[in-house]
Amino acid sequence: MQRMRRQELARLAKLGVAVVVVALVSAGFAIAFRMSLSATSQALGGTSIVAVMEAAPWWQRLAMPALGGLAAGGVGVVLARRASAAGGVGNVMEAIVLGRVRVPLVRSVLQALASWLAIAGGNSLGREGPLIQAGAATGEAARRVFHIDEPHARLVLAAGVAAGFASAYNAPIAACLFVVEIVTGVLVLEAIVPILLASVIATVAVRVVLGGAPLYGLRDFHVANGELVAFAVLGVLAAPLGVAFLRFLALGERAWQVLPLPVRPAVGGLACGAVLLVVPTVAGNGFEPLSNLLDGKLAIGLVLWLVVAKPIATFASVGSGNPGGVFTPTLLIGGIGGALFALGLHALLGDAISSSGAYALVGMAAALAATTHAPITCAILACELTGDYALALPLLLACALAAGLARRLYIDSVYTAELSRRGLRWRLTLDGRRVVESQQQSVDVV
């Protein structure tokens, strides 16, 4: 009996060391990824990729996304020749939940490189995808180095995902919820402890190097209880907005398949560059215009342009195969919807409602909830991104309505859609997780 206890303690100690290493390495990768992108923009003469594009001549706006896409497509050719498993967050979910696939290390590194090239070129992409993938790959490396058994290996992978997400957004609570609500779908103590530890350690590491302020700066919005009705309506409207964006991106992926690699991402980058000729603000993930929306500083004319330009630029960038996330672009699109909704309310009710920034914040979280089907994650993420927890009630209300209605409109989230295209479907119920294979067979994973 004592020997079994010693063995169990040894396994737990090894797991703890692995989680710490995974968190620190994931944070280090995220810091390098973010700082190198910032340094690239500064080398090109701007504080951000948006500033670079706004100051660039027309030919550079066209050329940079195309060249970034061409370079990413070149890496994609190398990836296509590898026999390793598919990449992406969907593959990570399958590895953690079912444990029947591995997160390919070399492929993950190459995908991160391709993402960096496409993002640095100004394509309309988020950076959370490569950081989450890198966190999971770090967990896979730890499994091999520390010789961790299969049940604990899946915990280390989940911890890596949480560390990658926390490093991307400086949001440790939302990172834990992301893994629980989206990736694993279950909340058990054995999983939540390493996930929490990894999120905290990664966030502290990032804050030491990059600073501890919320990603979008501190906000202090005030709303009246009577406005909850308006925020509920915004949540309902965010559902079809998010679903339409998902369908639009899926259409883009099918439409771009007629072109081969590495031409496809280059042409997609060129199309994104064509949008930048008119609206250079759509370059990158959407951080800069979303910050201005929250401040209420974005001119209505530019907001109206962004309604059309950002989805098209993301359609061109993501659909053509440029690797990257759609998390932050979705936040911007939801923020635009919330700001326009607030302008309409102001026209009807005047100063009786809150600032447009409050509606932009709720709108961005609700649209994200509609695409991820993760209302708690999105509500808490909005709080952590702005340091404003006073909006917790309208955020929870709008995100719940958006996610619930979106699930009725379109059964898949942005992540389960990726799995469905590969013939793997699962649904979460009160009885557990039901995995439905393409052969119409099903198995319950509780």
pLDDT digits (tens, 9 = 90+) for 189-225: 888 999 999 999 999 999 999 998 899 988 888 888 7
Domain boundaries, the chain: 2-43+82-169+171-210, 225-414
pLDDT digits (tens, 9 = 90+) for 341-373: 999 998 888 877 888 999 999 999 999 999 999
CB atoms within 10 A of CB 348: 8
Query: 81 to each of 55, 129, 206, 260, how far by Cα in Å?
Result: 39, 22, 35, 14
In DSSP terms, 434 is beta-bridged to 427, 444
pTM: 0.91
Can you say whether residue 88 is alpha, beta or left, with left for phi > 0 and alpha for psi between -120 and 50 degrees?
left
In DSSP terms, 445 is beta-bridged to 433
Q: Does domain 2-43+82-169+171-210 have CATH number 1.10.3080.10?
A: yes
Count of H-run helices and E-run strands, the chain: 18, 3
pLDDT digits (tens, 9 = 90+) for 124-173: 998 888 899 899 999 999 988 988 887 788 889 999 999 999 999 999 99
Greatest C-alpha distance within the chain = 74
> For the domain 225-414, what is the CATH code?
1.10.3080.10
The DSSP string of 345-372 is HHHHHGGGS--HHHHHHHHHHHHHHHHH
pLDDT digits (tens, 9 = 90+) for 384-416: 999 999 899 999 999 999 999 999 999 888 888
pLDDT digits (tens, 9 = 90+) for 280-309: 999 999 999 999 999 988 888 999 999 999
Alpha helices in 257-326 (DSSP H): 263-278, 287-295, 300-319
The answer, yes or no, to whether residue 84 has pLDDT greater than 80, is no
Domains 2-43+82-169+171-210 and 225-414 share a fold: yes
